[in-house]
Amino acid sequence: MKRECWNRDKLIHQYFGVNLNLVWETVKRDLLRLKEQISKY
């Protein structure tokens, strides 16, 4: 969870230092898993 918080802070406050390719790869990798977890509720 700490990593996710750090990533959120970096995205919100340091947008010029954000690696957009890394963000996109993370979204592609984790979006399906997130969708599955959300659908349980």
Q: What is the pLDDT of residues 1-41, one digit of tens each?
A: 555 555 667 777 776 777 889 888 888 888 888 888 888 87
What local confidence, expressed as pLDDT, does residue 18 receive? 79
What local confidence, expressed as pLDDT, does residue 27 receive? 86
SS3 (DSSP) at 18: coil
**How many folded domains does the chain comprise?**
1
33 annotated active-site: no
Q: Which domain, by its residues, includes 7?
A: 2-39
- State the Cα–Cα distance between residues 17 and 3, nearest whole angstrom: 16
- DSSP label at residue 30: H
Q: At 10, list the tokens.
A: 């970096």
What local confidence, expressed as pLDDT, does residue 3 receive? 56
Catalytic, out of 3, 13, 29, 33: 13
Look at the block and give the residue holding tokens 């947008």.
Answer: 15
3 annotated active-site: no
What local confidence, expressed as pLDDT, does residue 5 receive? 57
